[in-house]
Amino acid sequence: MSAFWCMLNVIFFKYHFTFFCLGGSSFDVTTSPPTLRVKENEGVDMSCSYTADFGADVRMEWRFVNSKGSTHYVLFDKKITEPYANRVNIFSSTNLRFSKVTRQDNGEYFCDVSSSSSPTKNSKVALTVLVPPSVPKCGIPQTVTTNAYVALTCHDPDSSPPPTYNWYKGTTLLPADPSKNVAFKNATYKLDSKTGMLVFPSVTKMDTGEYYCEVSNDAGPSQSCKSVKMEVRDINTGGIVAGVIFGLLFLGLLIGGLWYANKKGYLPYNVSKIHLYFKNKSFPQDENEYIEFCCVLQGEFKQKSSFVV
C-alpha cells in the first residue's frame, strides 16, 4: 500500500496562494511466515517484502535477536555475515534460506528496510528450533536432617522450547500445587515446573523416599534422571554428647600425662610456675589493658611474650 505526504507552503503574492507539495512516500514491510517451528539441522526459508519502490536507494538488512537480547546481523550491506556464510543464502534479493538451523538460532529475525528519504521500518519472524529433551542433571541429597531446608534440583540445558519439569516420589507424580490436591494437603514442598526446583522449607521424616525428575516438551520423548533415595534423620544428640565427653577425657589425660612427665623430669624444661598478671598503662589518647605471660623456668624468671589487648 503506497501513499504520499505533502508539506504545504503558502506564499502570498498579489492575493494568490500557491501550494507546493514536496514528495515522499510511506511504505509497509511484511515477513512471512510470522512464526516458524523447525527441527534442529533442518532447513527453513524466511521472506521479506516491502510496498515502496525505492529502486537502488533501498537499504535492507536482516538482524537476529536471541533470547538474551544480543543482536547479530545475518544480512548486512547486501552480504551474508561471516557467522552465517556457510549455511545461509539470500534469494530473490530480500529472502533468507537456512540450509540447516541449530539451537543457537532460537530467537527473532527482523527485516529492516529504509532509504535515504525514509525512516526504517521492520517486520519480524519468530523462530523456534525444536530440540527434544536430554537426560536431566539432578541434585538429590541422600541424607538430610529433620526440619532442615532442602532443595532438589533438575536441569536440562538443551531442550527447545524450554521443557516442563515434573518430580516423582516413587511412582507418584508430585502436583505443582499440593494445596489443590487432597492427597497432598499436608505437604509443605514447593515445586517450580519452569526451573525444576523442588524445595522443602522444613523437611520431615514423611518426606523420606526415592525421588527423580522428568523433563518434557513437544519436540520429542520425555527424559528422566536416575531415582535417588533421600533419607530424613533426626539430629544424633547422643553421638554429639559422646563426642564431647570423649574429647574432654582425652584432654584430661593429655594434661595429666604432661604433668607427670614434668614431675619426673622427662620434659626438657621444668616448668614450675606460670605467672599471669594484668597491668594498666596510660597512653596519650586512650587506656588499654595488656597481658604479659611470664614463665619461671627452673627457678629463673624469663619473660615469654607481651601483647596489647
Q: Which residue has the higher pLDDT, 57 or 205?
A: 205
- Provide the percentage of residues in the chain whose pLDDT is more than 70: 75
Cβ pair 63, 109 in contact under 8 A: yes
* Residue pLDDT, tens place only, 219-236: 999 999 999 999 999 876
CA distance 309 to 304: 16
How confident is the model at residue 212, as a pLDDT? Answer: 98
CA distance 230 to 233: 10
Cβ pair 296, 275 in contact under 8 A: yes
Lowest average pLDDT, out of 91-105, 116-130, 286-300, goes to: 286-300
Q: How many CB atoms lie under 10 A from the CB of residue 203?
A: 21
Q: Is the pLDDT of residue 198 over 70?
A: yes
pTM above 0.85, yes or no: no
Range picked from 138-152, 170-184, 271-285 for highest mean pLDDT: 138-152
Q: Which residue has the cell 520429542?
A: 220
pLDDT band for position 276 (cuts 50, 70, 90) = very low
Q: Is the pLDDT of residue 153 over 90?
A: yes
CATH architecture of 3-130: Sandwich (2.60)
Cβ pair 259, 238 in contact under 8 A: no
What is the rounded radius of gyration, in angstroms, for the C-alpha atoms of the chain?
39
pLDDT band for position 237 (cuts 50, 70, 90) = low
Average pLDDT over residues 261-267: 71
Helices (H), 193-300: 237-263
Tell me: cis bond preceding 133? Omega within 30 of 0 counts.
no
Q: Structural domain boundaries of the chain?
A: 3-130, 137-233, 249-308
Residue type, 4: F
CA distance 226 to 144: 19
CA distance 239 to 145: 14
CATH architecture of 137-233: Sandwich (2.60)
Q: Is the pLDDT of residue 29 over 50?
A: yes
Q: Do domains 3-130 and 137-233 have the same CATH topology?
A: yes
CA distance 281 to 288: 7
Cβ pair 294, 302 in contact under 8 A: yes
Q: Is the pLDDT of residue 217 over 90?
A: yes
Which residues are within 8 A (CB) of 156 and not within 5 positions of it... i.e. 6 or more apart? 133, 134, 135, 136, 137, 163, 196, 215, 223
* Residue pLDDT, tens place only, 48-88: 999 888 878 889 999 999 989 999 999 999 999 999 999 99
Average pLDDT over residues 144-167: 96
Q: Is the pLDDT of residue 273 over 50?
A: no
